[in-house]
Structure formats: structure tokens, C-alpha cells
């Protein structure tokens, strides 16, 4: 089997016909890839679209104007259709001042990337509705017996992650279902190992050689980087690693890098903020911003409220062209716990404000089980519903549905989770900002109705 030449990026010719998704998203409809910081060709042609986005950005307290929602929304189920109706986007005069990120607002993308990260999958049953890129976490950078970084495939790891791994079946099923496979390389929580990898020409060469071999062996369409928790001193070296991979793999192999959303203020000591989004956009195909876990200190908030998400996208557009930006979408939510005082649900002691132990992760399955069975597990504990305070209400300012109940031990649980309504709005947001597409975390947490709702939002115009 012919291997990819890591010196000049030449790949197997048979790959070319299956690259249409990503290549069209970068170059379709006459669109050009503009390096960060450059102006947009033909800006007047898109002035009306920019003006429309500006208005929605200024009026931050209003819900997404293109969605018409009831005050309360029914509980999400696998069969319910989103209760949303597209309405015209308001326009501003053509001479309106463009927003500061307008130079990175590229022409609308015709074929958006709909990517789903897949955590340690061993096989694939089917491609979810609408999804055209799967990013299985198959490769991990770990320390060898000498403490040096080594990238390993799933079958080289512990038994719990590798048992039954069949990448050939997975890729074949994905391709037959119309999806590309961008295998994800993971290195999270070990800044020392990142430093050892990205600053060593020898380790970088070994890393590229192994990934190139897997690309050819498993007929992969791309490589997705998920490196998190790095030293700020390694920002440039990490960017160089991603760029070296793109150069080695060639134009037909997509390379993307996940980055965390941008926090305000001095983050020089925050290892989770160690990225150069503009630099990454210049050397790889896509930058996937993980716009979730948007918790706010002292407040009960969803993991990705629509107003917060809009602000983060605009912040990222200052650095990354829209046609290279993938918006992270969570298929999970948050549960906040509080003690009910003297049986009065209007008077509670917010335990979540005192410890993160009382802010848990939930999914659509969690809520479905709570509604149908009356109990569920979260954080290693089983909770039983005593009575419901709220069986599902739409929060228009946050763009998400909330539920709340009191358990048999007198604890109040408030849940925020994505459903068809919120996902449809997020898809429309990606459309409004001309983004390259979305990246969902993660595949196993989805339901067909959720995938379909997000897909409809991505197709809205």
C-alpha cells in the first residue's frame, strides 16, 4: 500500500473524488481563502449581510430574531419537531459601519462542515442525519517508558479503550454514509508532555510519520487536533506542529485544530488559553472553537447560551476567517443543585455556588429518563424525582430549555440542556455568521431529532 510522502505531501489519487465536502467549503462559489488580517474581496456585495449580523450583535438581549418560539416549549423527545419558524432577517442602511470582525466575514458557505467528535469508538453503526465529517478520538499522545511523548493508536492503549477496535469497518461505514473521517489526535492535561513533543524536531518527525501511516492505512480524510492545557511558551511551537502536519499530508488531507473560546482579561497564566487562532488559521484548514462550558461564576447558566455564544463567535472572528471557523456545539447540558429551605421551592440554598460538586453534566438521555422513569444517574449517584417544578420551559434570552424538580431527599435540581429548539437556533447562528460549519461534542449523546434540527438550522438562509 502506497504511503503518503511526508516530504512533499503527495497522497493517493483515489482520495481526490471524496474531498468535495471540505474543498467546497473552502473554495466553493468562487470563494477564496484569505489569510487572517486581509480584507474581504467584494465587501460591498456582502454589506447587507454584514449589516444584518451587526444589528443582532448590538441588540444582545434580544433572542435570535429568526426564530419564533412559544413562552414554554414541550419537553424534547426523539420524535418532536422543533417549534421554530424562520422569519426575515432585519437589514440596516447600506452605509452602516461594519463590525470590527467584518474583514473576516467571507461569502456564505454552500456546503457547510457538519462534524461530530466521537469518543473512542471501536465501530460505527451509522452516520447521524446530516453529518458529513466524523472525528473519532483514535490517537493519543502519551508518555513512553522513558517519559518521552509517543503518539499511539487505540489498539496500543489500555484494554478498556482498544477492545474490538475496527477502524476499517468504521471508515467504510462512514464513507458509505457520505461522511469523511478526520481522526482526532488527543493530548489533554499534560503541559509537560506537550512541551517535550512540540519543541523536539525528532519527536515532531516521528509524530508526523505515524499519523501519515495511519492516514494511508485506514483511508482517513483528515486529522483533527485536540491539544488542551498547554504552556503559553509553547503556543508558537504548537502552531508550527499543526502547520508541519498540513504541509506533510498535502492539500487533499484536511487538518483542523480545536481551540478554547477566548476569555477576557489577562490569561497569561491560564494553560487552557494557550492558542494562536490566527496563526492556526494560516497553517491549517479549519479552527474548531469549543464554544461550550460557558459557565458564569455566581450564576446558573447553560453551557452554551445563545447570547454568550454569539459574543464568543464574534471574538473569534477577529482572528479567524469565517470560512475556516467551526462552531462547537454541545450535545450535553448542566444540572445545578440546591437545598430547598423549609419545603419552599422559592427559597433555596444554592449548593452549586459553593462547590463544583453540585454542578453536574447531563444529556438528553438524562432528562428523558427523569421524565419517563422518575430517576437518573449523575455524578455517580442516583436521584429520584419527588415532584416536578418545571417540566420544560423555553428561556428565550438564553436560547435553551430548562427543567427543574425536587428529589426525594429535598434537593432542588435545575437542568439546562440542548434540545431541537436550541440546536436549530445554533445552526442558524452559524449560517448568519457565514461559518464553515459546526463541530458537535459528542456523537453518542445525540438523538436523530437533535441531529436533524441542527442540520435544518445549518441549511437556513
pLDDT in tens, the chain (461 residues): 333 333 333 344 445 444 555 554 444 433 333 333 333 333 433 344 434 433 333 333 333 333 332 233 333 333 334 444 443 344 455 677 899 999 999 999 989 999 999 999 999 999 999 999 999 999 999 999 999 999 999 999 987 667 789 999 999 999 999 999 999 999 999 999 999 999 999 999 999 999 999 999 999 999 999 999 999 999 999 999 999 999 999 999 999 999 999 998 999 999 999 999 999 999 999 999 999 977 766 688 899 999 999 999 999 999 999 999 999 999 999 999 999 998 888 889 999 999 989 999 999 999 999 999 999 999 899 999 999 999 999 999 999 999 999 999 999 999 999 999 999 999 999 999 999 999 999 999 999 999 999 999 999 86
Determine, yes or no, domain membership for 69.
no
286: left (phi > 0), else alpha (psi -120 to 50), else beta?
Answer: beta
Cα–Cα distance between 429 and 427 in angstroms, integer? 5
Residues 430 and 384 in one domain: no
The confidence score (pLDDT) of residue 94 equals 66
Residues 207 and 339 in one domain: no
The confidence score (pLDDT) of residue 20 equals 53
CATH code, domain with 433: 3.20.20.80
Cα–Cα distance between 222 and 213 in angstroms, integer? 12
Number of domains in the chain: 2
Please, is 200 exposed, middle or buried when counting C-beta atoms within 10 Å of its C-beta (0-12, 13-18, 19+)?
Answer: middle
Backbone phi and psi for residue 423, each to the nearest 5 degrees, phi listed first:
-70, -35
Q: Is residue 91 within 8 Å of residue 48, measured between CB atoms?
A: yes
Determine, yes or no, domain membership for 81.
no
What lies within 8 Å, CB to CB, of 109 at 6+ separation is 25, 28, 31, 322, 323, 434, 435, 436, 437
Determine, yes or no, domain membership for 47.
no
Residues 325 and 360 in one domain: no
Instruction: Provide the sign of the torsion angle of the four alpha carbons 441, 443, 444, 445, taken in this order.
Output: positive
Residues 143 and 272 in one domain: yes
Q: Residue length, the chain?
A: 461
Written as one string, the DSSP assignment of 372-440 is HTSEEEETTEEEEEEEEEEEEEEETTTTEEEEEEEETTSEEEEEEE--HHHHHHHHHHHHHTT-SEEEE
Beta strands in 156-240 (DSSP E): 180-188, 222-228
Residues 271 and 321 in one domain: yes
Closest to 317 measured CA to CA, from 225, 455, 428, 434: 434
Determine, yes or no, domain membership for 7.
no
With 0.85 as the threshold, say if the pTM is over it: no
Closest to 259 measured CA to CA, from 285, 234, 226: 226
Q: What is the domain extent for residue 186?
A: 14-35+97-331+421-459
Distances (CA, A) of 91 to 68, 200, 372, 433: 18, 52, 45, 14
Determine, yes or no, domain membership for 1.
no
Cα–Cα distance between 450 and 448 in angstroms, integer? 5
HSE toward the beta carbon, residue 256, CA cutoff 13 A: 35
Cα–Cα distance between 27 and 11 in angstroms, integer? 20
Please give the helix or strand (H or E) that residue 173 lies within, else none.
helix 167-176
The confidence score (pLDDT) of residue 297 equals 62
- Chain centroid to CA 12: how far? 29
The confidence score (pLDDT) of residue 299 equals 80
Residues 344 and 237 in one domain: no
Determine, yes or no, domain membership for 76.
no
Residues 141 and 260 in one domain: yes
Residues 391 and 437 in one domain: no
Q: Is residue 242 within 8 Å of residue 225, measured between CB atoms?
A: yes
Cα–Cα distance between 397 and 281 in angstroms, integer? 32
Cα–Cα distance between 320 and 323 in angstroms, integer? 8
Residues 101 and 181 in one domain: yes
Determine, yes or no, domain membership for 48.
no
What value, to the nearest 5°, has the Cα angle with vertex 98 and ends 322 and 329?
30
Determine, yes or no, domain membership for 167.
yes
Cα–Cα distance between 76 and 417 in angstroms, integer? 10
Cα–Cα distance between 273 and 235 in angstroms, integer? 9
Residues 135 and 27 in one domain: yes
Partners of 401 in the β-ladder: 394, 417
Residues 101 and 220 in one domain: yes
Residues 218 and 348 in one domain: no
Amino acid at each position: 500500500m502506497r504511503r503518503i510522502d511526508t516530504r512533499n505531501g503527495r497522497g493517493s489519487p483515489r482520495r481526490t473524488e471524496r474531498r468535495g465536502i471540505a474543498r467546497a467549503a473552502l473554495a466553493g462559489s468562487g470563494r477564496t481563502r484569505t489569510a487572517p488580517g486581509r480584507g474581504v474581496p467584494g465587501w460591498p456585495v456582502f454589506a447587507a449581510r454584514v449589516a444584518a449580523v451587526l444589528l443582532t450583535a448590538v441588540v444582545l438581549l434580544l433572542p435570535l430574531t429568526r426564530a419564533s418560539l412559544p413562552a414554554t416549549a414541550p419537553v424534547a423527545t426523539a420524535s418532536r419537531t422543533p417549534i421554530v419558524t424562520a422569519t426575515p432577517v432585519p437589514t440596516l442602511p447600506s452605509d452602516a459601519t461594519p463590525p470590527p470582525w467584518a474583514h473576516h466575514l467571507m461569502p456564505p458557505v454552500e456546503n457547510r462542515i457538519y462534524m461530530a467528535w466521537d469518543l473512542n469508538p471501536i465501530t460505527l453503526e451509522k452516520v447521524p442525519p446530516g453529518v458529513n465529517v466524523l472525528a473519532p478520538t483514535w490517537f493519543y499522545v502519551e508518555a513512553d517508558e522513558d517519559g518521552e511523548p509517543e503518539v499511539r493508536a487505540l489498539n496500543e492503549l489500555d484494554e478498556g479503550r482498544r477492545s474490538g477496535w475496527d477502524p476499517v469497518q468504521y471508515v467504510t461505514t462512514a464513507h458509505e454514509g457520505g461522511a469523511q473521517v478526520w481522526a482526532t489526535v488527543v493530548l489533554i492535561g499534560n503541559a509537560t508532555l506537550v512541551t517535550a513533543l512540540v519543541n523536539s524536531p525528532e519527536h515532531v518527525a516521528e509524530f508526523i510519520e505515524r499519523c501519515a501511516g495511519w492516514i494511508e492505512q485506514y483511508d482517513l480524510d483528515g486529522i483533527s487536533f485536540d491539544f488542551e492545557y498547554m504552556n503559553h511558551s509553547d503556543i508558537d511551537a504548537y502552531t508550527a506542529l499543526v502547520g508541519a502536519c498540513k504541509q506533510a499530508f498535502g492539500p487533499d488531507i484536511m487538518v483542523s485544530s480545536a481551540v478554547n473560546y477566548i476569555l477576557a482579561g489577562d490569561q497569561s497564566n491560564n494553560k487552557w488559553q494557550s492558542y494562536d487562532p490566527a496563526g492556526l488559521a494560516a497553517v491549517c484548514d479549519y479552527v474548531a472553537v469549543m464554544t461550550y462550558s460557558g459557565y458564569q461564576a455566581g450564576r446558573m447558566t447553560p453551557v452554551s447560551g445563545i447570547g454568550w455564544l454569539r459574543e464568543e463567535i464574534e471574538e473569534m472572528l477577529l482572528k479567524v476567517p469565517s470560512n475556516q471557523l467551526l462552531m462547537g456545539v454541545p450535545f450535553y447540558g448542566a444540572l445545578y443543585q440546591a437545598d430547598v429551605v423549609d419545603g419552599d421551592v422559592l427559597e433555596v440554598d444554592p449548593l452549586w455556588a459553593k462547590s463544583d460538586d453540585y454542578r453536574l453534566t447531563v444529556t438528553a438521555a438524562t432528562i428523558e429518563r427523569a421524565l419517563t422513569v422518575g430517576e437518573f444517574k449523575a455524578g455517580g449517584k442516583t436521584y429520584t424525582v419527588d415532584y416536578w417544578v418545571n417540566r420544560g420551559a423555553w428561556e428565550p434570552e438564553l436560547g435553551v430549555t430548562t427543567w427543574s424538580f425536587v428529589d426525594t431527599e429535598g434537593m432542588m435540581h435545575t437542568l439546562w440542556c440542548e434540545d431541537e429548539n436550541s440546536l436549530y437556533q445554533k445552526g442558524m447562528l452559524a449560517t448568519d455568521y457565514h461559518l464553515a460549519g459546526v463541530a458537535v461534542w459528542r456523537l453518542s449523546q445525540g438523538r436523530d431529532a437533535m441531529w436533524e434540527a441542527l442540520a435544518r438550522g445549518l441549511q437556513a438562509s
